[in-house]
Amino acid sequence: MKRKITLKHIARELEVSISTVSKALKNSEEISRDTKEKIQAFAKLYNYKPNNIAISLKNKRTKNIGLIIPDIIHHFFTTVFRGVEKYANMRGYNVIACISDESFDKEVINMEMLANGSIDGFIMALSAETQLKNDFNHLKEVTEQGIPLVLFDRITDEINCDKVIINDEEAAYQAVVKLIKDGRRKIALITTESYFNVSEKRSQGYFRALREHQIAVDENLVLRLPYQYEEEQQSAEFFASREIDAVLCVNEIFAIKCMRHAKKNGYSIPEDISFIGFTDGILSKYSTPRLTAVAQHGEKMGEVAAQLLIDKIESEVDEEEETFKTEILEATLVERESTIN
Amino acid sequence: MKRKITLKHIARELEVSISTVSKALKNSEEISRDTKEKIQAFAKLYNYKPNNIAISLKNKRTKNIGLIIPDIIHHFFTTVFRGVEKYANMRGYNVIACISDESFDKEVINMEMLANGSIDGFIMALSAETQLKNDFNHLKEVTEQGIPLVLFDRITDEINCDKVIINDEEAAYQAVVKLIKDGRRKIALITTESYFNVSEKRSQGYFRALREHQIAVDENLVLRLPYQYEEEQQSAEFFASREIDAVLCVNEIFAIKCMRHAKKNGYSIPEDISFIGFTDGILSKYSTPRLTAVAQHGEKMGEVAAQLLIDKIESEVDEEEETFKTEILEATLVERESTIN
DNA sequence: AGGTATAACGAAACCGTTTTCGTGTTAATA
DNA sequence: TATTAACACGAAAACGGTTTCGTTATACCT
């Protein structure tokens, strides 16, 4: 077993001081050509690589970023992860990924674990429970310690930091407008039971579209489902008992499940009923019929978040009076088979 | 901004030595009750938390593990990640996740980046390119340095380390036997073009099942597709031009795409043709018809891999004469709508 | 009184780097 | 010959902890 070699070993072996070795390997002008060549050759021979931990301790920079996402079953978050990882890697950073499992406690624990020196900054989307409790002290503590934080998608106004979101309200609005233009009038909204800022925004867009097109809102056409629901009776009953000619779902799993119920109740898609879902994930692409979806561009979102974060980490801005941006990405409607034309 | 407080700060403030503070916070018997209480109270008040990096440097343990996966679009790998993260967290470890993107170079770069002190061990599945090149020097170097390594799913015999796999050959065999028992005779195999140890094993199981049931192998019924294929003409033509009554696919994306082609060619599933796919991922659950699949239990696999790794990290085995295990997990067939009964 | 045990704390080494600030040697200059 | 500048290198502090090994001071024993 070839143990890792350190500066000390090289110094001892070549009978010079540690500082000389360090400088020689950095090609410092201070050291003579001869010595530098000797040391560099030796280092290459024994495959010397500086110890990251020691360097981190020295310059108080880990080159790690912490990513905290609520879950990994929603394809959107995995694509964000992809984007973060890709961009971070490009800039020489590694990603420590944690899954909060939609739990407030796990979110707190993960943050605390990482906040003690393991990372240079955080990227995160709030867990369901955190949005519910409306408790952001863990975020406050972190930012007060001067650790940069970027929130994406599931954000809050309570915290002052960089943010990346899509124009959820507008995207939902446009989606519903499309349905209306296709001649649909009985448009249902399927959203989450508990509070998410994104569901909320999307619902607002839905209502605005109806309002602006003089279509009365029918509360019977709004279905609120538990976020991770297994029991499907609510949605099954919904489609069995109402007249609906279009549906907007705030995520793709809702959409896929509901298309099934619609089909089971004799609807044919998209002739009798249109479906549009949020999050253009893997399910949308492969469902039958393929789902028309609002693409959230998760990968792009991840890249932007990572860029904001790393820029902040590497900028030497004077503590106070720093300024925070909120990047709003454009969602786009990907038309497939579940809507007309 | 409240900067992080260190032992030194506490020591200076309370006019004791750093060592005393350190010991007091560990509740050492060496320190008097009075001093301990005073120090502990002060530490709590200022929310002292030891710096992870410093501790890592001291005990040469980072409590991080490196996970390298080929991609994140195949649901299987994200579930493995889930399992690793969950188990690792339980044991107080964090996961640094890297995506090799099926590229040899990225795999090498990622490993080298992490191998210099950032992690205590690796968990990984080989990239497609690595399996193709058959070049495992980066793995050898890492293990020679005494860094524990656990390979899962995409493994190689060339490297001596702990491994976690499923019984791919047997699972494929059982799947095909089920098809035969259902009365199928013209059973197609859809596998990857390039070499993967898993595809290979699964194919072997397919052939063995046919052989043992006296069904002649028809090479026309074996389709080899590029791993990440977008062009679908090959598979479309396959279903247009052959008589097939059952299909075994080595991954779920192949299966979903091929079910489409089959339907388009007038087959009805499962009456005319049965489908079984590998990897019981999210697509299998939500496809129409729902896909009968061989569950690889990715999450379990991740947990087992993480356990093997952490156990090895924390065991103080004498360098030489250590022993490596290969855990073989049982795959199970999840029967859904794409097969009879 | 002399010796010893014990309690309570501090000094210093160490982990592996980087970096500042000497210091000794040689060569050039006055 | 004395001074100085340049060169090439080393010592030591620092990052933030842990841990070993003293070192006092006091109490106890004979």
Q: What is the sign, positive or negative, of the torsion defined by CA atoms of A260, A265, A269, A272?
A: negative
Question: How far apart (Å, rounded) are the C-alpha atoms in residues A288 and B188?
Answer: 23
Question: How far apart (Å, rounded) are the C-alpha atoms in residues B16 and B154?
Answer: 55
What does each C-alpha distance from A301 to A124, A130, A154, A295, B44 come to in angstroms?
12, 21, 12, 11, 38
Burial string for A256-271 (b: 16+ CB within 10 Å, else e) reads: bbbbbbbbebebebbe
Q: Which of A79, A97, A113 sits opposite B97 (nearest CB)?
A: A97
Query: Nearest residue on chain B to A75, judged by CA atoms?
Result: B73
- Nearest nt by C1' to A28 Cα: D8
* pLDDT given for residue A317 in this prediction: 65
User: Position of tokens 């702990």?
Assistant: B162
Q: Helix A33-45 vs helix A7-14: angle between axes, to the nearest 10 degrees?
A: 120
**CATH number, domain B168-296:** 3.40.50.2300
- Backbone φ and ψ of B261, nearest 5°: -60, -40
- Would you call A81 and B72 a contact, using CB atoms and an 8 Å cutoff? yes
Asked if A117 and B63 touch (Cβ cutoff 8 Å), the reply is: no
Mutate which: B2, B25, B56, B79, vs A, most A CBs within 10 A: B56
- Would you call B89 and A82 a contact, using CB atoms and an 8 Å cutoff? no
Mutate which: A80, A286, A317, A319, vs B, most B CBs within 10 A: A286
pLDDT bin (cut points 50, 70, 90) of residue A229 is confident
Q: Helix, strand, coil: what percent of chain B each, to 5?
A: 45, 15, 40
| Token duo for residue B95 | 């996961």
Nucleotide D26 C1' to residue B56 CA (A): 39
Q: Which of A79, A99, A282 sits opposite B282 (nearest CB)?
A: A282
Half-sphere exposure in the Cβ direction for B278 (13 Å, CA): 32
Q: Helix A75-90 vs helix A298-314: angle between axes, to the nearest 10 degrees?
A: 40
| Token duo for residue B221 | 């019924």
Residues recorded for chain A: 341
Query: Looking at chain A from residue 134 to 163, which residues have their Cβ under 8 Å from any Cβ of chain B?
Result: 141, 144-146
> Which CATH architecture fits B61-165+298-329?
3-Layer(aba) Sandwich (3.40)
> Residue A41 CB: number of other CB atoms within 10 A?
10
Question: How far apart (Å, rounded) are the C-alpha atoms in residues A151 and B294?
Answer: 38
Residues in chain A within 8 Å Cβ distance of B260:
288
Task: Say yes or no: B85 contacts chain A, CB-CB below 8 A.
Answer: yes
Question: How far apart (Å, rounded) are the C-alpha atoms in residues B283 and B175?
Answer: 19
* pLDDT given for residue B317 in this prediction: 65
Mean pLDDT, chain A, integer? 95
Say which DSSP state A103 is in.
Answer: -
Distance from CA of A49 to the nearest CA of B (A): 7
- Nearest nt by C1' to B10 Cα: D16
DSSP structure string for A62-96:
--EEEEEES-SSSHHHHHHHHHHHHHHHHTT-EEE
Query: Nearest residue on chain B to A321, judged by CA atoms?
Result: B1
Query: Nearest residue on chain A to B56, judged by CA atoms?
Result: A53
- Would you call A95 and B94 a contact, using CB atoms and an 8 Å cutoff? no
* pLDDT given for residue A116 in this prediction: 96
Task: Say yes or no: B5 contacts chain A, CB-CB below 8 A.
Answer: no
Multiple choice CATH, A62-165+298-329, 1.20.120.420, 3.40.50.2300, 1.10.3720.10, 3.40.50.10490: 3.40.50.2300
- The three-state secondary structure class of B124 is strand
- Nearest nt by C1' to B4 Cα: D16
- The three-state secondary structure class of A152 is strand
- C-alpha distance across the termini of chain A, in Å: 65
Distance from CA of A123 to the nearest CA of B (A): 14
Say which DSSP state A47 is in.
Answer: T
- Would you call B319 and A97 a contact, using CB atoms and an 8 Å cutoff? no
Asked if A148 and A121 touch (Cβ cutoff 8 Å), the reply is: yes
- Would you call A145 and B2 a contact, using CB atoms and an 8 Å cutoff? yes
Say which DSSP state B338 is in.
Answer: T
Helices (H), chain B: 7-14, 18-25, 33-45, 52-59, 75-90, 104-115, 128-133, 137-144, 168-181, 197-212, 233-241, 252-264, 282-286, 298-314
User: Position of tokens 């499309």?
Assistant: A178
Asked if A293 and A171 touch (Cβ cutoff 8 Å), the reply is: no
Strands A292-295 and A332-334: antiparallel
Strands B332-334 and B292-295: antiparallel
Question: How far apart (Å, rounded) are the C-alpha atoms in residues A306 and A323?
Answer: 17
Domain boundaries, chain B: 7-50, 61-165+298-329, 168-296
pLDDT (tens digit per residue) in A100-152: 999 999 999 999 999 999 999 999 999 999 999 999 999 999 999 999 999 99
Task: Say yes or no: A90 contacts chain B, CB-CB below 8 A.
Answer: no
pLDDT per residue, tens digit, chain B (341 aa), is 788 999 999 999 999 999 999 999 999 999 999 999 999 999 999 999 999 999 999 999 999 999 999 998 889 999 999 999 999 999 999 999 999 999 999 999 999 999 999 999 999 999 999 999 999 999 999 999 999 999 999 999 999 999 999 999 999 999 999 999 999 999 999 999 988 999 999 999 999 999 999 999 999 999 999 987 777 788 899 999 999 999 999 999 999 999 999 999 999 999 999 999 999 999 999 999 999 999 999 999 999 999 999 999 999 666 667 899 999 999 999 999 999 97
- How confident is the model over A259-282, as a mean pLDDT? 95
Do A62-165+298-329 and A168-296 show the same overall fold? yes
Residues in chain B within 8 Å Cβ distance of A54:
57, 117
- Would you call B145 and A1 a contact, using CB atoms and an 8 Å cutoff? yes
- How confident is the model over A83-93, as a mean pLDDT? 98
- Backbone φ and ψ of A325, nearest 5°: -105, 150
- Would you call A97 and B99 a contact, using CB atoms and an 8 Å cutoff? no
Say which DSSP state B264 is in.
Answer: H
What does each C-alpha distance from A137 to A108, A142, A158, A180, B128 come to in angstroms?
9, 9, 10, 43, 44
Nucleotide D10 C1' to residue A32 CA (A): 14
Q: Which of B56, B94, B286 sits opposite A114 (nearest CB)?
A: B94
- Nearest nt by C1' to A55 Cα: C17
- The three-state secondary structure class of B193 is coil
Distance from CA of A288 to the nearest CA of B (A): 6
Asked if B223 and B191 touch (Cβ cutoff 8 Å), the reply is: yes
**In angstroms, what is the C-alpha Rg of chain A?**
26
Distance from CA of A154 to the nearest CA of B (A): 21
- Would you call B282 and A75 a contact, using CB atoms and an 8 Å cutoff? yes
Where are the strands (E) in chain A, listed by range? 64-69, 94-99, 122-124, 149-152, 162-166, 187-192, 222-225, 246-249, 274-278, 292-295, 326-329, 332-334
Question: How far apart (Å, rounded) are the C-alpha atoms in residues A31 and A20?
Answer: 7
Task: Say yes or no: B33 contacts chain A, CB-CB below 8 A.
Answer: no
Asked if B165 and B224 touch (Cβ cutoff 8 Å), the reply is: no
- Nearest nt by C1' to A17 Cα: D10
Question: How far apart (Å, rounded) are the C-alpha atoms in residues A177 and A180?
Answer: 5
Mutate which: B79, B85, B94, vs A, most A CBs within 10 A: B94
- The three-state secondary structure class of A165 is strand
